Amino acid sequence: MTGPREQFRPEDHDNDHFLLTSVVGSYPKPKWHDRARELFEDPDADFDEHNWEEAKDDAARLITREHERSGLDTVVDGEMRRNEMVEYFAELIDGYEFNGRVKVWGHNYFDKPSIADEVEYDEEWLVDEYKFTSSVSDRPVKVPITGPYTLARWAFNEAYETTEEAAYALADLVNEEIERLVDAGCKYVQIDEPALAQYEDDHAIVGECLERIADGIPEDVRLGLHVCYGDYSRIYPEMLEYPVHEYDLELANGDYEQLDVFKADEFTKDFAMGVVDAHVAEVESVEEIKDNIKKGLEVVPPEQLTVSPDCGIKLLPREVAYGKMENMVQAAREIEQELDAGEIDVVGGQTASADD
Residue pair 140/8 in contact by the 8 Å Cβ criterion: yes
DSSP alpha helices (H): ranges in the chain? 31-41, 49-70, 87-90, 127-135, 148-153, 163-183, 203-214, 286-296, 318-340
Domains, the chain, with CATH or none: 13-82+120-339 (3.20.20.210)
- Nearest-Å Rg of the Cα atoms of the chain is 20
- Fill in the amino acid letter for 98: F
Which tens digit of pLDDT belongs to each residue from 212-227? Answer: 999 999 999 999 999 9
Q: What is the pLDDT of residues 145-178, one digit of tens each?
A: 999 999 999 999 999 999 999 999 999 999 999 9
Q: Is the four-CA dihedral 273, 279, 285, 291 of positive or negative sign?
A: negative
pLDDT band at 109, cuts 50/70/90? confident
Structure confidence at residue 86 (pLDDT): 93
Question: Are the beta carbons of 346 and 339 closer than 8 angstroms?
Answer: yes
Cα separation, 251 vs 253, in Å, equals 5
What number is the average pLDDT over the span 268-274?
96
Supply the pTM of this predicted model: 0.93
pLDDT tens digits for range 286-313: 999 999 999 999 999 999 999 999 999 9
